[in-house]
Amino acid sequence: MSIPYLRNHIVAPFIRLAPVALSTCALLLAPIRTIFGTTLPDGFGEIQYAHNLLSPTAMAFAPDPCPGSGPVVHRLFVCEQGGRVRVFRNGVLQPNAFLNVIADTRTERGLDGICFDPNFATNHYVYVCYTVKQADPTLPTHNRVSRFTANPANPDVALAGSEKRILDLVNVDNFIHNGSALHFGPDGKLYVSVGENGHTLQAQSLNTVLGKLLRINPVPENADGTIPEATFPADNPFYNTATVRQ
Neighbours of 40 (CB within 10 A): 10
pLDDT tens digits for range 42-84: 999 888 887 889 999 999 999 876 655 667 888 999 999 999 9
Instruction: Indicate left, alpha or beta for 60 from its phi (over 0: left) and psi (-120 to 50: alpha).
Output: beta
Answer whether residue 24 shows pLDDT above 60: no
Q: Model pTM?
A: 0.81
Q: What is the DSSP string of 2-20?
A: -HHHHHHHHEE--SPPPP-
* Per-residue confidence (pLDDT) for residue 66, from 0 to 100: 62
pLDDT tens digits for range 81-105: 999 999 999 899 999 999 999 999 9
Residue 34 CA to residue 100 CA, distance in Å, equals 31
Name the class of domain 3-41+53-231. mainly beta
Q: Judge contact between 232 and 5, C-beta under 8 A.
A: no
pLDDT tens digits for range 28-37: 333 434 455 6
Average pLDDT over residues 140-150: 96
Residue 27 CA to residue 77 CA, distance in Å, equals 16
- Compute the mean pLDDT over every residue in the chain, rounded to the nearest whole number: 83
Residue 202 binned pLDDT confidence (cut-offs 50, 70, 90): confident
Answer whether residue 14 shows pLDDT above 50: no
* Per-residue confidence (pLDDT) for residue 71, from 0 to 100: 79
